[in-house]
Amino acid sequence: MENIQEKFTALDLAAFNDEMNEKGYAIIPKLITERQCDELIKNYDNPSGYRKTVVMERYRFGLGEYKYFNYPLPDLIQGIRENLYPKLAPIANLWMKVLNINSRFPTDFHELQALCHANNQLKPTVLILKYGKGGYNTLHQDLYGDIFFPMQTVLFLDNPDEDYTGGEFVLTQQTPRAQSKAIVLKPKKGDALVFTTNFRPVKGSKGYYRVNMKHGVSELHSGKRHTLGIIFHDAIS
């Protein structure tokens, strides 16, 4: 927990904010250690830590599997949720302001959680995902209910090009009256990728306009790939 707090304290917040505002995503290198990554993977098969398992091909979500954590969350995950959220809330509120959206987010994570619970969104949305050869994740948005925070993060638990090949993280940006733009990223083991959940503002000649975003995973060519998704709002089901 102290290590996580130190990492966020040392974060160059101005540069991080600039990346989020300009691109809709930013990477925090080596947020967690290799040992922490390995421990999360090791615990994947421990049934007591999870509330639900989803086999992706059953729902045409892709090819792979993921599990939603139970409350209480592991200290590491809870610590990331609580320490990262206050860095993101001011960015989210700025986005709402420039897009003229009548919505503001609290600066404290527990206040956001209270809003979710008041809306009957009571279940944790943090999940761990596993892909094998041929696995992929279709483009999607993680919303889960009427109350949703417009940013989330994913922790990469394996080394690309060593533990697996292919399996790049894909973001798409749909600009109004234009073709979609694809962004392909390959963060390293222990890195955290923070990105927009469903939209972001872009400044044009007549002010800011909204572009919709989706994310997914390209097909794995070999090996196994694990990631941990940290979504800040809770779910109805």
pLDDT at res. 176: 80
Parts of the chain with a pLDDT under 50: none
* pTM, rounded to two decimals: 0.96
pLDDT at res. 38: 98
DSSP-H helix ranges across the chain: 2-9, 13-23, 34-42, 75-98, 109-118
Q: Tell me if 25 sits within 8 A of 19, measured CB to CB.
A: yes
pLDDT at res. 2: 60
pLDDT at res. 65: 98
pLDDT at res. 1: 57
* 237 belongs to a structural domain: no
Q: Tell me if 209 sits within 8 A of 196, measured CB to CB.
A: no
pLDDT at res. 179: 87
State how far the Cα of 143 lies from the Cα of 81, in Å rounded to an integer.
17
For the chain, how many structural domains are there in total?
1
pLDDT at res. 175: 82
User: Which whole-number Å values give the CA distances from 105 to 114, 142, 153, 163, 223, in the listed order?
Assistant: 12, 17, 17, 38, 40
CATH number of the domain encompassing residue 100: 2.60.120.620
> Residue 68 is part of which domain span?
2-231
C-alpha angle 143-145-147 in degrees, rounded to nearest 5: 90
